[in-house]
Amino acid sequence: MTLTQKIAWDDTVLPFQLDRSDIRGRVARLDGVLDRVLAQHAYPARVEAMVAEAAMLTVMIGQTIKLRWKLSLQIRGDGPLRLIATDYFAPKAEGEPAQIRAWASFDEERLAASDAAPFDLIGQGYLAILIDQGKGMAPYQGITPLAGGSLRACAETYFAQSEQLPTRFALSMGRAAEPGSGEHWRAGGVMLQHMPKASPHATGEGGSGESGLLTADDLVSGREGENWNRANKLLDTVEDTELIGPHVAPHELLVRLFHEEVPRVFDAQPVAFGCTCNADKVRQSLSIYSAKDIATMTTEAGVVTADCQFCGAHYELDPATLGFEATRRPEDDGDRRG
């Protein structure tokens, strides 16, 4: 395998369809993008693993949204790992890459004192998926409780519970070592989703999952159930080296797994690291504070500083331009005096 081939495979999402089974899906590979996401912070290994998993889920789910839309995942809990936030920005035009960013917030002392597995560090909480359709459109939000022992399982529950779409993820990620380049993050995954029908199978009486939540098996039966189970058994045979190794291209992986299901691939979507922060957005976020609050944020050098959690960008702003007093219209004071 040449380096050129490897670059062509990495940081892409390949949509596909299994014509025999009425199942659609995506194969995703993240390499340099994942390194860029994680390089912004010196996360402990267990936090890195959770951010990597969230990023993989985000690019596979996000690939379905329309141009210029934004999809976000938020995982919040009461454990040492308090928050994981990801954003997927759909391409602005056909042929351009999608962009992703991610970050996590955690309690260092509680994390150091815990020997819990990565997912258990989140504790009790929820996973939310938010879709921003652009200016003038109300954002969509769906929430599911944390259950199943992994973010992957939570996302599967979300689609079963909120969208009533049978969904399955197979993921693998970790640090890879290559001669001459040292260690770097690499991840791969496959997403399967049964194509929606005119009416869902769920009865509204609860499901077979944890705490009565719906699962994919609650949504399909008969011939559809047979097709779904067959595709899932084939996906069960996938190996970590096939998901993240450099020697199996995504379309080759589909043939290995699903050749009897007649896989049909579509154009791959490139993914890049990207952030939308800028000074104007920072000013807008600080417009809720009073002049007194802004004064407490002002450094001895006479500036207010802010750092972007996603990309690490550093901003130094004039305090006179910040706070709601700075944005108040002159006529507002006149109205107040009258």
Give the domain CATH number at 333. Answer: 3.90.1280
**Is residue 183 domain-shared with residue 37, that is, in the same domain?**
yes
Whether the pLDDT of residue 200 is over 60: the answer is: no
Residue-wise pLDDT for 52-80, tens only, equals 999 999 999 999 888 889 999 999 999 99
The whole-number average pLDDT for the span 242-267 is: 92
Altogether, the residues listed in the chain come to a count of 338
pLDDT of residue 309: 82
What total number of domains does the chain contain? Answer: 2
**Which residue, chain included where needed, has tokens 């769920």?**
202
The amino acid at 236: D
- Res. 122 pLDDT band, cuts 50 70 90: very high
Do residue 321 and residue 231 come from a single domain? Answer: no
| Confidence label for 184 from pLDDT (cuts 50, 70 and 90) | confident
State the average pLDDT over residues 27-39: 92
* Residue 211 lies inside a defined structural domain of this protein: no
pTM of the model: 0.84
Token duo for residue 145: 């409780």
Whole-number Å distance between alpha carbons of 248 and 291: 58
Quick: pLDDT tens for 41-53: 889 999 999 999 9
CATH label of the domain that carries residue 47 = 3.55.30.10
DSSP symbols for 50-115: HHHHHHHHHHHHHTTSPTT-EEEEEEEESSSEEEEEEEEEPPSSTTSPEEEEEEEEE-HHHHHH--
CA–CA separation, 206 and 223 (whole Å): 22
- Look at residue 52 in the predicted model and tell me its pLDDT: 95
Calpha distance 19→114 (Å, rounded): 47
- What DSSP line would sit under 283-326, residue for residue? HHHTTTS-HHHHHHHB-TTS-EEEE-TTT--EEEE-GGG-HHHH
The CA-CA-CA angle for residues 261, 245, 258, to 5°, reads: 5
Domain that holds residue 309: 279-337
- With respect to residue 301, please indicate whether it lies within any of the assigned structural domains: yes
At residue 150 the predicted structure's pLDDT band, cuts being 50, 70 and 90, is: very high
* Contact call for residues 244 and 172 (beta carbons, < 8 A): yes
